[in-house]
Chains A and B, each alone.
Chain A
Amino acid sequence: MSKLELRNVGVRYGNIVGTQELSLRLESAQTVALVGSNGAGKSSTLKAIMGLAKYPVGDILLAGKSIKQMPAFEIVRAGIGYSPEGRRVFGGMSVLENLKVGAYSRKGGEFEADLQRVFGYFPRLKERASQRAGSLSGGEQQMLAIGRALMARPSVFLLDEPSLGLAPVIVERIGDVLQEIQRAEQLSIILAEQNAAWALSIADQAVIVELGRVTMTGPAAEIAEDPRVQRAYLGI
C-alpha cells in the first residue's frame, strides 16, 4: 500500500481546470519531484491533498484511507505537513510564535523537544527566534515555513516551490537540509518545483505534469536523462 495515493484527481476552480484526472503514488520514505511549468497543476495537486482545493472527481488516500472530505486541520492531524507556495509565514508574529502555531495540532508536552529538533536543522531560526517573521529574508522565511510544518511531526510533507525567488546558494542549502530531514525522519516528500534540475537532483522519483495531467513518471535520475525533459525543463 502506498503512503499517499491520488486517484484521478480533478481540481476545478469554477470553470477553470486545475488538474484533470491526475494520478500519482508516493511510497514511504521517498521523495517525489512534481515538475512542470507555471500553471501545469502542481500547486492545485498539493492544495487538493491539503483539502484547500475541491476535487469533485477522484479520490486521495493516505495509507489507504480516503481524506477527501476532511477539513485541512484534520488532514494535518492525520500526518500531512504543508509548506505553501510563497512561504506565507505569519509575518506579524515572531519566529517562535510561528513554530508554536505549527505545533498547534500536537497536544502534550514534546514542544520543547520538537523546537530543538527544528532549531537543529535550521540554527538560523534559533538566532532569530524572537524576531518578527515578516522581517526575515526570503531564505529564512522558507526555512521557517519548513520548520513550522515539521513542528507537527508529519509523515508526509508537501513542499510547494521552496526555491521560488531564492539565490542559488540558498536553494542548495535548503536542498541539503531537506535531504537530511528526509533521512532523519523517514519522511515521504512531494516537492513541487519549477526548478526542475534542482528538484530532480534531490528526488528519488519524478512526475512530470503538463496541463493538469501526468505525462511522464519514473526514477528521478532516468527522467533527468530523458531528451524531452532536458529540452523542456532543463534547458539543455
Chain B
Amino acid sequence: MLSMLTNPTILGQIVVNGMSLSSIYILVALGFTLLFGIMRVVNFAHGEFAMLGGFAMYYLYAVFSLPWVAAILLAPLAVAIPALFLEWLVFRWFYQKMFQSMIGLLGLSIVMIYSALLTWDAFERNIPAAFDGILRFAGVILPIDRLVTIGVSALALGAFYFLMVHTRIGLAMRAAAQDVEIAGTQGIDTRKIYRVAFFVAILLAALAGALYGQVYAVSPFMGERPLFVAFIVVILGGMGSIPGAALGGLILGFTESFLGTFYGGSVASYASFGAVILLLIFRPWGLLGKPE
C-alpha cells in the first residue's frame, strides 16, 4: 500500500476524484444547511431535487442535444423555478417547525420519488460524457470530466460566496440565519428571504444532481445518496454552518476517494458514518457549529 501511496499517478487520481466528489457534496450540503439555518427545515426531499436536476440534464443534453454549457446552466433553473410552486404548496407551512418538517418533507420525498418512477420507470439512464479524454500533467493522469466538475462547482461556490457576503440580499439571509425574529424587527421581509434561500438551495442541489448524473447515472432513486451525503456533511460541519458544510464536504469527499481506492466503497461508507456517530457523541454541534 505504501508503494501505491507514493505512486504519483494513483495519488493524483485520488486527489482529483476526492475533489470532484467533494465539490458535488458541498453543493448539495450547502443548500441543505441553508434551508436548516434560515428556516429550520430539515429537507428530506433535498436529494429528490438533485434527482430532478439529473433528469433535467438528461433531457437538455442527451435528448434535446443542447450545447453542454447551455444544458448545465439551464438544468438547475428548470428545477428551481417550478420548485417555487412546491415552496408555496408544501415548504412554507413547515418553516420554523423542525420536527414537523422532517415528517412532512419525508412524505414529499416519497411522493417525488414515486412520481418520478411513474413518469420515467426505474431503469438508469446515462448522460453521455461531454468531455472524455485525459490530461497528462507531470506524470499524473487527470480525467477531464472530473476537472470540469470541479471547475463548475468552484464557479457555483464562488457565486454563492459572493451572493452571501457582498450583496444586500446575502446580508439579509445571514441575519435571518442568526436570528430570524430580530431580522424581521430590523426591517427584513423574512417571507421574501425564505423564498430566495429556497431558490438558491434548490439551484445548488439541482446543479449537483446534473453533475452527479453525468458522472454516474440518472434514475428516480439517485437522490438517496446525495441526501445521505448532505446529512453527513452537515452533521460533520455543524447544522446551519456554511463554512462547516464546505469543510464537511471536503473531509467526506477525500475520505471516500482515499478509502474507496484502497479498500472499496463499503469501507469508505463505514468510515463516514462511523465518524458521524463518534462526532455526535463527543461533539454533537459539529466541527464548526455552535453548541445550543
Q: Which residues of A contact B (CB under 8 A)?
A: 50-52, 71-73, 75-77, 82, 84, 88, 90-93, 97, 100-102, 104-106, 148-149, 152
Contact = CB atoms under 8 A, between A and B. Distances in A.
Contacts of B168: 104
A187 to B, nearest CB: 17
B171 A104 contact: yes
Contact of B187 (A52, A84, A92, A105): A105
B181 interface: yes
Nearest to A73: B189
A196 B286 CA distance: 43
B184 A91 contact: no
Nearest to B175: A101
Contact of A93 (B175, B181, B191): B175
B119 interface: no
Contacts of A50: 185
B171 A97 contact: yes
21 contacts: A71-B184, A72-B185, A73-B184, A73-B187, A73-B188, A73-B189, A75-B185, A77-B187, A84-B182, A88-B179, A90-B175, A91-B178, A93-B178, A101-B171, A101-B172, A101-B186, A102-B186, A104-B168, A104-B187, A104-B188, A148-B186
A152 B187 contact: yes
Nearest to A107: B168
Contacts of B185: 50, 52, 72, 75-76, 82, 84
User: Chain B contact residues: over half helix, strand or loop, or mixed?
Assistant: helix
A82 B186 CA distance: 7
A161 B251 CA distance: 45
A164 B191 CA distance: 31
A32 B179 CA distance: 28
Interface magnitude class on chain B: 10 to 19
A89 B58 CA distance: 46
Interface in B187-225: 187-191
Contacts of A51: 184
A91 B184 CA distance: 16
Contacts of B181: 52, 72
B42 to A, nearest CB: 21
B175 A88 contact: no
B172 A104 contact: yes
A93 B174 contact: yes
Chain B CB within 10 Å, residue with most, of A50, A51, A72, A82 = A72
Interface in B148-182: 168, 171-172, 174-175, 178-179, 181-182
A148 to B, nearest CB: 6
Contacts of B186: 76, 82, 101-102, 104-105, 148-149, 152
B147 interface: no
A105 B175 CA distance: 13
A100 B170 CA distance: 12
Contacts of A152: 186-187
Contacts of A75: 185
Contacts of B191: 71
Contacts of A82: 185-186
B248 to A, nearest CB: 18
B183 interface: yes
B184 A101 contact: no
A115 B33 CA distance: 33
